[in-house]
Every structure is written in structure tokens, then in C-alpha cells.
Structure 1
Amino acid sequence: MRAVLPLVLVTALLSGCSLFGSKDNNMPPSPLTKFKPTLILKRVWSRDAGSGTDHRHLLLAPLVSDGRIYAADHKGRVYAYDADTGKRLWKTDTDTPLTGGVGGGDGLLLLGARDGRVLALQANDGKVKWRAQVSSEVLSAPRAARGVVVVSSNDGNVFGLDASDGHQVWVVDHTIPLLILRGASSPVLVSGVALCGLANGILEAIRIRDGAPLWQATVAVARGSSELERMVDVDGQLQAMGGMVYVAAYQGRVAAIDITSGQIAWERDVPSYAGLGVDTSRVFVTDDEGRVWALDRSSGATVWRQTKLRYRGVTAPVPFDGQYVVVGDIEGYLHWMDRADGRFVARIRVDSSGILSPPLVHGNTLYVLTRDGELAAYRIAGATP
């Protein structure tokens, strides 16, 4: 049985209505398995970063940049902290209900709103630099590079806004299916190209400078007789490394695609809406039921599969310290797995509200933001005796 996720009819996009509640699935979470921990984890600091997502299905992910970590809540409050100490540097209340962020680039913090507004804040002091309007709700983090802010709206359009004042430079229109997941992947900007996942199972490359479409690659093909069966959204975060982009689609596949040509190097039938993580030799992906896979980055071959987190609303995996892989879950746990074989090496509960956004890794620190707005930093303190 597949997970039941928050869905949206195209006719309800502007209002942001969800056909389901905020829970990620209708199956009871797999019980936590017992194991002997081999790592000792230390909470370095923890801060209250607002009121979180208000238990809506919002991926308000934090951002780490230039020694700072930035977080936002659904009420429009944005916070900056010293990434090492957790000291709060500034707070800005935008008075705007936020649904997407935090993104960055070109010295800006970028956020999306329920009513289709895009906000740009100065990263150094939190002052609002400009506000712009796109065609519908923004559920992912905008990104900026080369003087252009790239924004995906939930009606399928991709916008290029001038980073200096927010005026529209270009727009690429897309037709999306009648029924889609409530969510969107953030654009990945690399080498002058914006890589954008779409709700029709397509990955598209767009030239950042002028919005010219360069290529499209099919990650998933809609099949089935009902609109629910035909959903193929590319909603999980994309990852780019070594001239390739790695992408996953709901009820579709994981694929490695050449950024220059759009040619698919390999693909695997591992459907995912949570997304994936990448390191130098492996791709880590959480499938639609919460199983965590490790695939060979060059061939897509299975290295291992961890099956004991099914239906726990598991986030995309993040590699840590070259030796571990970490995921969060809907009950607020962080699960640490050995990169070599997927066995559990540590587990810690951040809080009981749950974790929707994948953890962030910067240096030797892992950061996580819970649904209630708790922002916490963890490090490895050593091995167990």
C-alpha cells in the first residue's frame, strides 16, 4: 500500500487547499526497532525559531550559509543564528504567511508565500529588499544566481525575477495534471542552468539568463485509469554533482541525468516523493513507503536497503561525515545509519512534533528544524564504550 499524501486539485491551487490532513500516511508507523548504538550524539544547541509549520504539510527548510543558519515559520517570521553557537543575530517579521523557503543566493534570503508573493531579505541584517508577485502559491525555496531569482509556483510555472528589485525577467509556462501532490522541489542552479522538477514527471533545464528551455527529461510516465494512479510529481529535492543531476519522482523512478545534454545515464524503479541525498559514490533515497536505499552513483545498482522505517514519514536522507546517513521522521526522531550497510548506529528524538524537512549538514554539525519550530544542532561526541 502506498502512502496517502496531501494532494491538491488544480482548481484549488490558489487557496492552497489540501484534500487530506497533514499526516504523511494512513498506515501506522513501523515500531522502533531495538539496536545497540555505536555512536554518542551531542546536542550542541537548540533554539525556538518561531511556530514552525502550524502542523501543515509545509517544507519550510532552514538554510546554512556563510557561518549562519536561517529559519522561518508559517507566520512570516525569519530568524538568523550563528551556526556554531546558536546565538540569534536578527529576527524579521514579514507579516506574510509563508509556505516556501528558506532559499538563498546573491546575498539574499528568499521565501515564498501562500498568496504567490516572493520575498527577498538581505542576508546580513534581515531587512526586506523587495516583494514580487507570481501566479500562485510558492511551496518550495526560491534560488538565486547570476542576478536572477528562480521561483517555481504551484500551478506549474517557473519564473525568473531580477535579483535587484524583483521585477519579472522571464516565465516558462507548463500544463500540470488535474491532481498533484501538495509540494514542489526547489530549483537547483548550476553552471548558468536552472534544473526544475515538474508535477508531470518531467525534469526541465532552463537557461537562467533568459529563461530559454534547454532540454526535458522524463523521470516518470503517468499510468493508470484514475487521476490518483497517474500522479508522477517530481517533488523531492534534486541533487547535482559532477556534471550530473539526480532526481526522483512519486510513483516513478530515480534517475541520473547529464546536466549538459539531458541524457539519462541510468534509472531505477524506486518511487519517491521525499527526495534524495548524494555523496561522492552513492545516491541515498527514501522511497514512497519510507524505505531508505543506497544506490551506486555511477550505475544505480543497489548497495543496501533499510526497510525498518516504513510509514514513519521519513525525510530525504543526508550523508554525514563520510560515514553515516541520517533521516528524520514524523515522530521527531533522527535515525543515523552506517553508510556502508545501512544498519542503525544511533537514534535521538528532537521533539514529538515531527520532522518534515531533511536535516542540513555543515561541516561536523547536523541541523534540524521540527514542525513546532525547534531548531537544533547535533554533533558526534564519540563512540559508545
Structure 2
Amino acid sequence: MGRVRVTLGLLSGAVAVALCVVLVDTYVLRAEWWQVRHTVTGEPVAPQSGVGPPPGPLAVSWEHSTRTHRGSVAGYDGVAYQVAQGQVVTASGHGIEARDARTGGARWSYRRAGWSLLGWTSTGSRVVAYFERDGDRGERTLVAFDALSGGQLWRRADERPAAVSRTTLRWPAGSDVLLTADEGRRTLFGVSAVTGNRVWRLALPRGCRLFEGGAHPSDGREGLAAVGLRCAGPGGGKGRRSRLLALDPTKGLVRWERGLDSRESPEVSMLDGVTLVSDGTALRAFDDGGRQFAVWKGDGVCGDLMCPGVLAPGRLVVVYHPDGTGTEGAGAGTGTGGAGAGGVAAEEARMEAVDVRSGRVGWSRDVPAYTALAQAGGQVFALRPRLSERLLPAGVDIVEPGDGSTTTAPAPFSMDPDLPGVRPWLAAAGGLLYAALPQAAPRPDGAA
């Protein structure tokens, strides 16, 4: 009997220890109450009108600095921004936060200690963030928020985003559906941004898989999402080429698919009615039906970054490096020549306005090496790193999309586009212009 009692005591002790370990792991080490720092707001915010600032001097209304996050996953240390519904949303590896677009005042934020934000997306009135535990990529979670209040809507631990951009940390979503993928990146899923449940499934073409870790391998808007695919040729691994797949995010139906000329991950940018794709051999422009209406050929036409582009009424305005062979499209014939044509210097660029329906070039001219474009109120705003060769402050050009005429204003800041932290970015709304730029900070970290 004594041995039985000792055995039972040891078993009870072992069970108690195991139970304590499980409880500590569940309710302490992995508990939400200490990992998560979440603030919400009940203050209303009014939407902004779709106009930018008038021509004239620019002055800083407010500014906010965000440090870059050096997490355990290399390459995902950028900072990204979006202006919508009267708010500026900032996403970085630290987490996500929303500020009043007029005053810069804090509205809501979400961070997780020991976790890194490696992706985010927005659709309708919802923002969804993707987190991975530092040092353990197998432990991940999606968290959905109400875009205006920051209130948490749902959380899922078994989904991974489809084709996250290393540059902006964005992945495609639209019409209250966000795109996720399986472990092998060969199947796409549509997940409701309202409930967190899967609403459709799409197997990718045989031999194709999503690019992972590209600078900007995908993009989306409310009615259309586009993802770059890496597809094997007829010989299995030989003849591998990239493809572009455009689909309806609501039902997961393929709208169109186009082959590209490169093996590399494409850079994808979605405008309102136009899809821009740079694959290292050319910059291509497709309309919503998948018709290619313009192409700028050349392996350096976009350089190391995606060519800036915006859609003005009926016209695509794009900036590219003039070492390509110019514009080709339906009815095009006014494209520019190579880098030596017209005496264009290597540090300069070319801006063109192309009619989306006909593919004809409306106008084309030499411009400074613009790092970002924005469109609002029928005007195009272009950010230039320097006001002139001898003046250090940055400049903002206001371009009329009809004829390309330009008004220049000095910007109230200087910038070095080569600093890490953020790709230069512009947005315009509510009579204001928003600019994001890399900021020098004590090494090894940068800031935006």
C-alpha cells in the first residue's frame, strides 16, 4: 500500500506540474493581456474631399516619425502609409496605428510584444494585420480591426497572406475579401474581412506558385486583385517564366491572365482602372479587361523601384527612366528614344500621359527623377528629391495632366531617397499633401 501511495503521489505531482506548465504557457507566456497593447477611439472623423493643396508655398501642418523595426525576418523592416476616411494609417514591423489626417492626433493603435507585423491590408471599413512570433514563423495570426475605431473584429491563427510586398508590407484585398494562401503557395483563398471565414478557394494553374518575398509582387483594389506567379515551363524547371493573374476578389474568379518575359518577381501597381506591371524587361499597362494598351521596353526602364504612375481622367501618367525604347501601344507612335535621345541625362526621367482607350501618347517631356506621384482634384503632384541641382530642399511639381504644364513649389523638408526606412510616398486629400520620406537615425535603425 505504501508503494501505491508513493506512486499515486508522484503521478499526481507530475500531473500538477504539467497542468501548471500548460496554464502558465496559455495564460501567462502566450496571454493576450500582456502581449498586446491596443488602444481604440470613439471620436468621429469626417472624410476628406478629394482635392490637394493649391499652387503656392507649402508649410508643414504636422509630422510624425516612425522607427523601422528590425525583426527576426530579414527584409520586412519598411514603413508604409495610407490616407483614407479622414485618417492616416501607418504600418511597420512594430504594429499598426491610425492618426487624424487633419491634425496628426493619435486615434487607435495595435502592437504585440515579441511579435512582428509582416503584412497588412485594408478593404472597405476594415484593416487586417498579419503578425508572426519573433523566432517562430510557424506561429502566426491575422487580426481584423474596424478602420475608424480600431476595435478588434476577429482573429485567426491558421491563415497566411498571399504575396506580401516587402516594400509596403501590403497584400491584396478588395470588396471585403482578403487573399490568403496555403503553405506551398499553390492555392489562393478568399477570407471574409467581416467574419474571418473562408468564402472561396482557387487552385493556381499547374506548375505555378505565388512569388514570396518580392519587392511588390501583388496589389489590389476593391474590384480587382493581381498577383505575380512563378510558373515552370514545359520541361519542368526549364523555361520558367513569371505570369500575372488578375481575379475578382469577391468570388475568386479569374478575370484575365498574361505571360511576362522575365523569371523574376514582377512589380505590380493597381490604379483605378489600370494595372501597371514591371518585370525587369519592360513596364506594361493593362486595362481592366487585360488589354495591354502601352509598354515601355528596357531592362532599366523602372530601375530598382516600380515606376511611379497615377490615373488622371482618361489618362495614365507615368514616369520612367529614358533608357528604354519608348512607348508602344494601340496607335502609339510618339514614343521616346534611348538615353541619348534629346540629350537626356542619366539622372533625369521621362513623364508621359497615355490615353487608356487608344494607347496614344498625349504628351511626353523630360522631368526630374520624381520619386513619387499622387493625384487629386484633376491634378498630379510629383515629388522631386531636390528643388534644383544647387538647392537642397525637395520640391513638389503640380502637373496638369491635360498638357503637362508644371508649377513648382519648394517642399519644407530635404530628403535622401537612398536612406532605408520607407520608399518615398505621396498622397493628397482635403486640401493637404502628405509625404513620407526616409529619415536618418542612429544606426543600425532608420526611421520614416
State the TM bucket, normalised to the shorter chain. 0.5 to 0.7
Return closer, same or farther for 1:144/1:324 CA change in 2, 3 Å cut-off: closer
Q: Report the equivalent of 1:361.
A: 428
Q: Report the equivalent of 2:250.
A: 209
Gaps of at least 5 residues in structure 1 are 1-37, 223-229, 376-385
Q: Is the 8 A contact 2:57 2:410 kept in 1?
A: no
Matches within 5 A, 1:222-241: 222=262, 230-231=263-264, 233-241=265-273
Return closer, same or farther for 1:213/1:163 CA change in 2, 3 Å cut-off: same
1:46 aligns with 2:63: yes
* Distance (whole Å) between structure 2 residues aligned to residue 234 and residue 92 of structure 1: 31
Deviation at residue 316 of structure 1 after TM alignment? 4.2
Task: Give deviations 1:363-385, integer Å, cap 9, x for gaps.
Answer: 3222123345877xxxxxxxxxx
One-letter amino acid matched to 1:370: L
Return closer, same or farther for 1:107/1:255 CA change in 2, 3 Å cut-off: same
Deviation at residue 147 of structure 1 after TM alignment? 3.7
Residue 257 of structure 1, aligned match among 259, 274, 286: 286
Deviation at residue 328 of structure 1 after TM alignment? 6.1
* Distance (whole Å) between structure 1 residues aligned to residue 181 and residue 398 of structure 2: 33
Q: Is the 8 A contact 1:113 1:137 kept in 2?
A: no
Residue 164 of structure 2, aligned match among 132, 138, 144: 138
Residue 354 of structure 2, aligned match among 285, 288, 296: 296
Which of 1 and 2 has greater Rg? Answer: 2
Deviation at residue 41 of structure 1 after TM alignment? 1.1
One-letter amino acid matched to 2:381: V
* Distance (whole Å) between structure 2 residues aligned to residue 197 and residue 300 of structure 1: 27
One-letter amino acid matched to 2:198: Q
* Distance (whole Å) between structure 1 residues aligned to residue 69 and residue 396 of structure 2: 22
Q: Report the equivalent of 2:191.
A: 161
TM-score (norm 1): 0.67
Residue 279 of structure 1, aligned match among 293, 312, 316: 312
Q: Report the equivalent of 1:150.
A: 179
Q: Is the 8 A contact 1:207 1:214 kept in 2?
A: yes
One-letter amino acid matched to 1:41: L
* Distance (whole Å) between structure 2 residues aligned to residue 47 and residue 60 of structure 1: 12
* Distance (whole Å) between structure 2 residues aligned to residue 100 and residue 357 of structure 1: 19
One-letter amino acid matched to 1:221: D
Residue 89 of structure 1, aligned match among 98, 107, 110: 107
One-letter amino acid matched to 2:267: D
Deviation at residue 300 of structure 1 after TM alignment? 4.5
SS in 1 for 2:272: strand
Aligned-residue Cα RMSD (Å) equals 3.9
Residue 322 of structure 1, aligned match among 359, 371, 378: 378
Q: Report the equivalent of 1:33.
A: none
* Distance (whole Å) between structure 1 residues aligned to residue 282 and residue 109 of structure 2: 40
Deviation at residue 279 of structure 1 after TM alignment? 0.9
Aligned residues: 316
Deviation at residue 280 of structure 1 after TM alignment? 0.9
SS in 2 for 1:41: coil
Deviation at residue 159 of structure 1 after TM alignment? 3.5
Return closer, same or farther for 1:287/1:155 CA change in 2, 3 Å cut-off: farther
SS in 1 for 2:425: coil
One-letter amino acid matched to 1:319: Q
TM-score (norm 2): 0.59
Q: Report the equivalent of 1:221.
A: 261
Matches within 5 A, 1:91-106: 91-95=109-113, 96-101=115-120, 103-106=121-124
Q: Report the equivalent of 1:185.
A: 218
Deviation at residue 162 of structure 1 after TM alignment? 2.0
Range with greater deviation from structure 2 (362-371 or 113-122): 113-122
1:125 aligns with 2:125: no
Deviation at residue 184 of structure 1 after TM alignment? 2.6
One-letter amino acid matched to 2:225: A
SS in 2 for 1:64: strand
Q: Report the equivalent of 1:346.
A: 409
Gaps of at least 5 residues in structure 2 are 1-54, 231-240, 322-346, 387-391, 440-445
Between 1 and 2, higher relative CO (CA 8 Å, sep ≥ 6) is seen in 1
One-letter amino acid matched to 1:98: L
- Considering fraction of residues, name the structure with more helix: 2
Task: Give deviations 1:262-281, integer Å, cap 9, x for gaps.
Answer: 23334333643414211114
Q: Is the 8 A contact 1:148 1:160 kept in 2?
A: yes
SS in 2 for 1:120: strand
